[in-house]
């Protein structure tokens, strides 16, 4: 009894003592610590090994690259050797893994990253398709919804947006970016960052963006993935860096470097890119993660001799986190002890990462993003599906519509033919991250069946996407003959474009174009749907078939969105953001090329001694900015507030846009300039602004663009951003080729 009593007394005294200390420390910590102070207070507690651990990122078993060393993962987390995991998803899994991190000495929470590239559970169109919408609000919304779902699923970080400018459709990763234009790419980069990060990281519905691949990854020689990049300093600054800068200025939390070398220096070990430009000139305060194994990749490049040298070069050049190379965890501590890497350099990287963990609120609650309730709600939110359908509609590009064959009439009997008609998985495209669940994807067959009813719909596969058998042709021809209209859906399977999916032959694969020819021979009217992750080549089809819709890979709502456009519930408004070549031999072909001393002038009689190929028409198949509508638009009444402008002035350029057709529709009006004479050869045209305008049939609106010095500037050879006085052509049109209104502007001193 007495022992029990005395035990109780001891407990009470102890409680009072702790309570007193606690209230005193509360009184002392009256002034809340800043996040940077909190970062320092954690850093001060860390051993060198724990610091290195924060810079180490492992993948879970779902991998996007060669897996390495899975065996000791959990023990390493407990030992404080891991700062972040990628490819763990879902509340249950992330919570379980975070619990392991909470067993480590300092209980520093893990960051969970994932490739949420175009949607999470609800899949949106691939980024190249979304870019074709030229609709920044919709693009932001798609990233917003992806972030809402991903964060509800325990994730903190997406490896997106990919902002690599790409001029080569042989490169499989064109599907992941916004196309070939720097201005449009920069606007889209900002919209995506805003969408992912919402009202700011730390909100439970936001994820950190990761801008990639820094830098110039899209310029891989020959479009061969992971290949070297060799370009002038000027081109790097003028064409490839601006979308990265725009994303950094929009507050992107993190960056990823890239596999390629730039002029001989791998991006992962590139001090100029990472320290001088990104962390220096642009004052970027977030952290840089390597690409998958790209620190180790510097050994294959022949840039370093071994993993230890790779770690040394990477950290010193500004790469903060090591994704799956294990170069840091195996070598950094030794490098510090040997004096090759300053502890201050390691500390700087650790602080950048800890700061993001604080900003996310993970130190206050490591399970902040782990709510099953929210996960269930958001992953089944019907609004997300609605938005996916809307942006999918806007991503479709109408390439041809002779004699207004489209939109179709629901009463027509349809023969739906083609290897992709019933596919669900191929609608999702590459980076379909919620696999293997694709049951709720709407196939093209389902979308069209809903419109016309089962009895009005005949179906035949015709052939496979990519093989040589024509045994299915007869059945396809037979159903075509019974129908009023044929819808033929062809293209690429989802694995044919994407990372490591470069192709030397980008013609419509297999015997698909032969199938089109065979059906065409029946004399039935044909609409072609092309589902793909890149521009494909289909010259015969483009020359003969009356109606073509480029439908890319449109995501979960593909079938519904396609049916909406086919039957006129949505009037197509998409415009290409990448040039479509006539042949592979024409690549690279892009609209904003420089003029030569012997240029090709559109419409002039071809002569031999001009730039181009003797055996090919000089123009592309479909130009940048091109896309048709079910209505027509008239551009008139160009006005300029002045035809002369001083560098500190701004002028207003306006015109009237009228919907002259019978239905309402959206037009993407494009504003281009050309610097006529400059100290360096300038592009024949550069997009400087655009607007997407909705007009009712018969409606007119005055559209305004502003021009200031910024829009007339370029990088000179000293990498100074300058505007030179002289004449500038002002061009407004519906595509880079179809210029409707033109004038000139003088920039005067
Ligand atoms: C890709 C990155 C991706 C990473 C993680 C790499 O192979 O290049 O874009 O974020 O894998 O999955």
Ligand 1 atom closest to the CA of 212, numbered from 1: 9
More confident residue, 296 or 749: 296
- Residue 164 annotated in active site: no
Assign 30 a pLDDT band (cuts: 50, 70, 90): low
499: Cβ below 6 Å to ligand 1?
A: yes
pLDDT digit string, tens, across residues 215-249: 999 999 999 999 999 999 999 999 999 999 999 99
Compute the distance from residue 461 Cα to the ligand 1 centre, in Å.
Answer: 34
Looking at residue 253, its pLDDT comes to 99
Three-state DSSP at 200 gives coil
Mean model confidence pLDDT for the chain: 94
Å from CA of 506 to ligand 1 middle: 24
Helix (H, G, I), strand (E, B) or coil at 111: strand
User: What is the distance in A from the centroid of ligand 1 to the CA of 101?
Assistant: 24
Q: Provide the pLDDT confidence category of residue 9 given band limits of 50, 70 and 90.
A: very low
617 token code pair: 């028409």
Q: Would you say residue 613 has pLDDT above 80?
A: yes
The CA-based angle 26-31-35, given to 5 degrees, is: 105
Bond prior to 588 in cis (omega within 30° of 0) = yes
Average pLDDT over residues 412-419: 98
Tokens of 313: 């070069």
Q: Say yes or no to pLDDT of 69 above 60.
A: no
Q: Are 626 and 574 in contact (CB under 8 A)?
A: no
Alpha carbon distance 263, 241 (integer Å):
15
Convert 328-350 to b/e letters by CB count within 10 Å (16 or more is b): bbbbbbebbeeebbeeeebeebb
Of 168, 291, 320, 675, the catalytic one is 291
Pair of tokens at residue 422? 């019933």
Question: 66 falls in which pLDDT band (50, 70, 90)?
Answer: very low
First to last CA, the chain: 98
- The best mutation among 116, 174, 292 to test binding of ligand 1, ranked by most ligand atoms within 8 Å of the C-beta, falls on 292
Query: 159 CB under 6 A from ligand 1?
Result: yes
Each residue of 321-330: pLDDT tens digit? 999 999 999 9
Of residues 294 and 439, which shows the higher confidence score? 294
Query: Does residue 345 carry a pLDDT above 60?
Result: yes
Tell me how far the alpha carbon of residue 292 lies from the centroid of ligand 1, in angstroms.
Answer: 6
141 Cβ inside 6 Å of ligand 1: no
Task: Please identify which residue in the block is written with the tokens 């002029």.
Answer: 263
Kindly give the distance from the C-alpha atom of residue 259 to the centroid of ligand 1, in angstroms, as a whole number.
10
> Distances in Å between the alpha carbon of 294 and those of 161, 302, 622?
19, 13, 36
**Tens-place pLDDT, residues 703-723:** 999 999 999 999 999 999 999
User: Which pLDDT value is given to residue 2?
Assistant: 42
Spatial distance between the Cα atoms of 363 and 547, rounded to a whole number of angstroms: 57
CA proximity to 140, closest of 191, 64, 102, 77: 191
Q: What angle do CA 527, 565, 583 make, to 5 degrees?
A: 50
Query: What are φ and ψ of residue 514, in 5° steps?
Result: -65, -40
Ligand 1 in reach of 212 Cβ (< 6 A): yes
Instruction: Report whether residue 65 contacts ligand 1, using a CB cutoff of 6 Å.
Output: yes
Percent of the chain, pLDDT > 90?
A: 91
The 10s digit of each residue's pLDDT in 264-290 is 999 999 999 999 999 999 999 999 999
291 CB within 6 A, ligand 1: yes
Protein residue with least CA distance to atom 7, ligand 1: 292
| pLDDT of 119 over the 90 cut | yes
Compute the average pLDDT of residues 563-584. Answer: 98
Spatial separation of the C-alpha atoms in residues 182 and 236, rounded to whole Å: 11
Model pTM? Answer: 0.95
Write the DSSP string, 233-277: HHHIIIIISHHHHHHHHTT-SEEEE-SSEETTEEGGG-HIIIIII
Cα 63-437-461 angle, rounded to 5 deg: 105
Query: What confidence tens digit (pLDDT) does each residue in 372-385 have?
Result: 999 999 999 999 99
Q: What is the 3-state secondary structure (H, E, C) of 362-407?
A: CCCCCCCCCCHHHHHHHCCCHHHHHHHHHHHHHHCEEEEEHHHCCC
């Amino acid at each position: 009894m007495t022992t029990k009593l005395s035990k109780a007394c001891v407990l009470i005294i102890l409680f009072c003592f702790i309570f007193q200390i606690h209230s005193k420390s509360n009184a002392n910590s009256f002034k809340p610590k800043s996040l940077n102070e909190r970062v320092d207070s954690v850093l001060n507690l860390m051993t060198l090994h724990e610091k290195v651990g924060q810079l180490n990122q492992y993948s879970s078993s779902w991998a996007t690259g060669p897996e390495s060393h899975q065996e000791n993962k959990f023990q390493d987390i407990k030992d404080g050797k891991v700062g972040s995991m990628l490819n763990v998803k879902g509340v249950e899994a992330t919570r379980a893994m975070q619990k392991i991190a909470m067993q480590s000495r300092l209980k520093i929470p893990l960051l969970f990253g994932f490739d949420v590239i175009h949607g999470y559970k609800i899949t949106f169109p691939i980024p190249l398709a979304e870019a074709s919408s030229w609709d920044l609000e919709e693009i932001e919304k798609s990233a917003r919804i992806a972030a809402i779902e991903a964060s509800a699923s325990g994730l903190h970080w997406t490896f997106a947006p990919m902002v690599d400018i790409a001029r080569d459709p042989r490169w499989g990763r064109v599907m992941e970016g916004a196309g070939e234009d720097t201005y449009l790419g920069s606007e889209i980069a900002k919209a995506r960052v805003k969408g992912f990060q919402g009202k700011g990281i730390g909100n439970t519905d936001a994820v950190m963006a990761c801008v990639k691949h820094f830098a110039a990854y899209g310029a891989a020689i020959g479009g061969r993935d992971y290949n070297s990049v060799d370009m002038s300093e000027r081109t790097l600054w003028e064409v490839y860096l601006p979308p990265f800068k725009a994303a950094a200025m929009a507050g992107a939390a993190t960056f990823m470097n890239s596999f390629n070398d730039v002029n001989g220096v791998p991006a992962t070990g590139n001090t100029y890119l990472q320290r001088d430009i990104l962390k220096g000139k642009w004052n970027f305060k977030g952290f840089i993660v390597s690409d998958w194994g790209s620190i180790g990749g510097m050994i294959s490049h022949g840039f370093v001799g071994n993993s230890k040298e790779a770690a040394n070069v990477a950290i010193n050049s500004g790469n903060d986190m090591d994704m799956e190379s294990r170069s840091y965890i195996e070598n950094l501590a030794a490098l510090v002890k040997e004096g090759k890497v300053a502890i201050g350099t390691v500390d700087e990287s650790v602080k950048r990462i800890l700061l993001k963990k604080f900003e996310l609120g993970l130190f206050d609650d490591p399970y902040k993003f782990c709510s099953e309730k929210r996960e269930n709600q958001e992953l089944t939110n019907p609004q997300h599906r609605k938005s996916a359908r809307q942006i999918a509609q806007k991503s479709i590009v109408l390439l041809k519509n002779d004699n207004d064959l489209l939109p179709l009439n629901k009463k027509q009997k349809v023969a739906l033919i083609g290897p992709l008609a019933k596919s669900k998985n191929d609608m999702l495209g590459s980076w379909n991250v919620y696999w293997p669940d694709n049951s709720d994807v709407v196939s093209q067959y389902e979308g069209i069946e809903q419109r016309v009813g089962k009895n009005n719909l005949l179906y035949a596969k015709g052939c496979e996407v990519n093989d040589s058998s024509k045994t299915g042709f007869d059945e396809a021809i037979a159903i075509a003959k019974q129908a009023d209209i044929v819808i033929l859906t062809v293209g690429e399977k989802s694995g044919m474009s994407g990372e490591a999916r470069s192709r030397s032959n980008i013609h419509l694969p297999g015997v698909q174009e032969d199938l089109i020819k065979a059906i065409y021979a029946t004399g039935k009217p044909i609409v072609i749907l092309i589902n793909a992750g890149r521009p494909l080549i289909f010259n015969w089809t483009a020359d003969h078939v009356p109606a073509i819709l480029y439908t890319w890979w449109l995501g979960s709502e593909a079938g519904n969105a396609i049916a909406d456009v086919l039957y006129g519930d949505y009037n197509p408004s998409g415009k290409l953001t990448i040039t479509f070549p006539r042949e592979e031999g024409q690549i690279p072909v892009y609209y904003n090329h420089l003029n030569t001393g012997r240029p090709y002038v559109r419409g002039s009689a071809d002569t031999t001694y001009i730039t181009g190929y003797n055996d090919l028409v000089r123009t592309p198949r479909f130009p940048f900015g091109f896309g048709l509508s079910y209505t027509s638009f008239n551009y008139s009444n160009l006005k300029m507030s002045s035809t002369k402008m001083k560098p500190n002035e701004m002028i207003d350029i306006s015109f009237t846009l009228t919907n002259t057709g019978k239905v309402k529709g959206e037009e993407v009006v494009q504003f281009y300039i050309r610097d006529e004479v400059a100290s360096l050869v300038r592009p024949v045209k550069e997009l400087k602004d655009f607007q997407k305008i909705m007009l009712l049939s018969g409606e007119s609106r005055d559209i305004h663009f502003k021009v200031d010095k910024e829009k007339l500037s370029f990088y000179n050879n000293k990498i100074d951003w300058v505007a030179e006085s002289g004449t500038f052509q002002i061009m407004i049109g519906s595509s880079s080729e179809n210029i409707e209104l033109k004038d000139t502007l003088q920039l005067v001193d």
